[in-house]
Homo-oligomer: A and B are copies of this chain.
Amino acid sequence: MAALSPLGRKLAAWTSLSPGELAALDDLHTATRTVASNRDLITEGYKYDAVFVLLDGVAIRYRVLHDGRRQILNVVLPGDFVGFPACFFETALYSITAITAAAVAAIPFTRLFGSFENTPRLAATIFWLFSCEAAMYAERLINVGRRSALERVAHFLLELLTRLRVIGLAEEFSFRMPLTQEQIGDILGLTGVHVSRMLRRLRDDALIAVEGQQIAVRDLKALSALADFDRTYLTHFRMSDALFPARPGPRLDLD
């Protein structure tokens, strides 16, 4: 068995797929492609007949308004899908740009849907993966809509730490921040200037430590409390086993 891909590691952490099933998922890839930093993986307005899985690097999905304001919708990490939901429409709804050198693997739609006939558990898994993407949007919406700037930054740091740890790209309490402060601002609906101030405050309060791009969480408990972080990313993203029709599932109960 080869070493697990980032996607495989993610699935191993949050699902009960067998090693064979994990391998089947990695088999969906056809060609892989490398992309330089600052190049588009998906370009708004174009048409696609595949989704992609990010194997390596970091990308951002974003939209710019007519006057230049930018909202970053999501940070794409290794193991995440590139092109959901953008690729499913007549023309892609958003651009996705690599912010480091990156590598992606293509999964053509034909192959994706074809695989469902043989392996329904795979279909369920892909649905769940897409649910995760949608749930991350929802979490971000809560963050931006109803939290203060300090809470947003704290929450974002914890989200990134958690996601990077799952795919083996972070230590227990520290990670390398792949984004500039202005990009963090565009994620959180803030200005880069204010992100700087909030990071400063988190440092002054000894909740985090910053050394260059390296960020270390110094007081996980206090930071989680500040960000109201407990309920979301840590335990609740596990895939429901009700998605697997193979097992004798509980009956549907209506009223």
* Chain A residues near B (Cβ < 8 Å): 30-31, 33, 47-50, 63, 65-66, 69-71, 73, 84-85, 87-91, 93-94, 106, 108-110, 113-114, 116-117, 120, 123-124, 127-128, 130-135, 137-138, 140-142, 144-147, 188-189, 228, 232, 236-243, 245, 249-250, 252, 254-255
Report whether over half of chain A's contact residues are helix, strand or loop; otherwise say mixed: mixed
A109 to chain B, nearest CB (A): 5
Q: Is there contact, CB below 8 Å, between B106 and A245?
A: no
* Complex contact B240–A93 (CB within 8 A): no
CB–CB B71/A255 < 8 A: no
Contacts of A252 in B (CB 8 A): 30-31, 49-50, 106, 108
A134 touches which of B50, B65, B134, B147 (Cβ 8 Å):
B134
Chain B residue at minimum C-beta to C-beta distance from A35: B255
| B residues in contact with A117, CB < 8 Å | 116-117, 120
Write the nearest CB–CB distance from A30 to chain B, whole angstroms.
7
Could you jot down 30 A-B contacts, CB within 8 Å? Answer: A31-B252, A49-B252, A50-B252, A65-B146, A66-B228, A71-B145, A73-B141, A85-B135, A88-B128, A88-B243, A90-B240, A90-B241, A91-B236, A93-B135, A93-B236, A106-B252, A108-B252, A110-B245, A113-B116, A114-B120, A116-B117, A116-B120, A123-B123, A130-B134, A137-B137, A137-B138, A137-B141, A140-B141, A141-B141, A144-B189
> A237 vs B88: C-alpha distance in the bound complex, in angstroms?
9
Q: A88-B240, A109-B243 are in contact. List 19 more A-B contacts (CB 8 A).
A: A47-B240, A47-B242, A49-B252, A63-B138, A70-B146, A71-B145, A88-B243, A91-B236, A93-B232, A109-B124, A110-B245, A114-B120, A116-B117, A117-B120, A123-B123, A130-B131, A130-B134, A144-B144, A145-B189
Return chain B residues, CB-CB under 8 Å to A91: 236, 240
Please, how many angstroms separate the alpha-carbon atoms of A114 and B249 in the complex? Answer: 14
